Amino acid sequence: MSDAPELIVSVEGGVGRLRLNRPKAIHALTLGMCDAMIEALLAWKDDPAITAVLLDHAEGRGFCAGGDIRVMAESAKGDGVHARAFWHREYRLNHLMFVYPRPIVAFMDGITMGGGVGISQPARYRVATERTVYAMPETGIGLFPDVGGGWYLSRMPGRTGQYLAVTGARIDGADAVALDVATHYIESDKLDAVKAAIVYAPANLERILADAAVMPPPGKLADARADVDRLFASDRLEDIHAALEADGSDWAAKQIAVMDTKSPQTMKVALRQLAEGAQHVDFADEMRMEYGLAVHILQRPDFVEGVRALIIDKDNAPRWNPPSIAETPDSLIDAIFQPLPASDAWTPLPETGA
């Protein structure tokens, strides 16, 4: 057992620093990490000595691979108490970062997925590199793109958000800039110098980032943008599948093959989540909706089955229930979107004033 903290919290000059520190798990978030981040951010929120917050990872090959899914699935097999507590606290962290009065800089160097998206997208400045791999792959494990995915993905250009939500496709750092996921593209070997410069002169944060940023190369998604916007144009999964089948191209066939591995239930949930998320004007309403979705889906079989197939047994053969798009009725999706009773609903941290 290592005595190293899962989150390294420090203050350097006028900068608060949060460093994710679970390298063997690609810094997947735990309940304790969420609590520690909340505690630090609240302590710095009204501290006049803190000018900015830097969020990165201490070592290893990725920024953050998401939440600790194994632990969550184990909870879902039982009473689900821990899973619900984790999501409630994680979404409070996401919301706190979204409304935070100090500028936060998130360095999305390497794998940035799921929960890693949730703690990077609320940041005012989001730095991608040539090593960035960004995705919301939740439909592959019977979940949906939570942590604010309904807000962020629905606001991406064209239908790229819907495409990423349904297929779980990965994009690179150049795509992240093109889709407004990232505000800056900085080569990874320059990051240490950039962080040191911000710590030395946090008042010059914007200029430091702008001076270090370079024009990214063409993204991998660029050539497919027209196909994405045309074939993923509908908010109905049946229509998207039919459009892909009718198209007949190799690209369309690949998307069908990918979708055939995903949970039909949560692909449908994701499309409706983005449609409703696009209408929200308060991020707290997004988090409230997503927490309700998470609680309902926790009670369905696909999440535990998806984690079993992809992460535990790794047979990559999930047995979804319902098993197909055609057998997933709209009434089931309606039930998943039913608001929770007020006593069980998500609430933001009182300190945010929301």
What is the C-alpha to C-alpha distance for residues 157 and 295, in angstroms, rounded to an integer? 30
Residue 247 CB burial class (10 angstroms; 0-12, 13-18, ≥19): middle
Of the candidates 146, 172, 286, 302, the residue annotated as catalytic is: 146
* Adjacent-strand bridge partners of 53: 16, 104
Of the candidates 16, 115, 140, 292, the residue annotated as catalytic is: 115
Residue 5 CB burial class (10 angstroms; 0-12, 13-18, ≥19): middle
Residue 138 a catalytic site member: yes
What is the C-alpha to C-alpha distance for residues 148 and 142, in angstroms, rounded to an integer? 17
Residue 62 a catalytic site member: no
* Adjacent-strand bridge partners of 16: 11, 53
Question: In the sheet that 15-20 helps form, which strands lie side by side, from edge to edge?
Answer: 7-12, 15-20, 52-57, 104-108, 125-128, 184-185
From 222, 145, 136, 224, select the one nearest 178 (Cα to Cα): 222
Residue 148 a catalytic site member: no
Residue type, 118: G
Angle between helical axes of 283-298 and 81-98 (0-180°, round to 10): 170
Of the candidates 16, 62, 67, 118, the residue annotated as catalytic is: 67
Residue 60 a catalytic site member: no
Q: Looking up tokens 């983005």, which residue turns up?
A: 274
Distances in whole angstroms, Cα of residue 72 to Cα of each of 85, 304, 307, 336: 10, 9, 9, 19
Q: What is the DSSP string of 128-169?
A: E-TT-EEE--GGGGT----TTHHHHGGGSSTTHHHHHHHH--
Angle between helical axes of 264-277 and 237-247 (0-180°, round to 10): 110
Of the candidates 138, 172, 290, 302, the residue annotated as catalytic is: 138
Question: Which active-site residues does the annotation give?
Answer: 67, 115, 138, 146
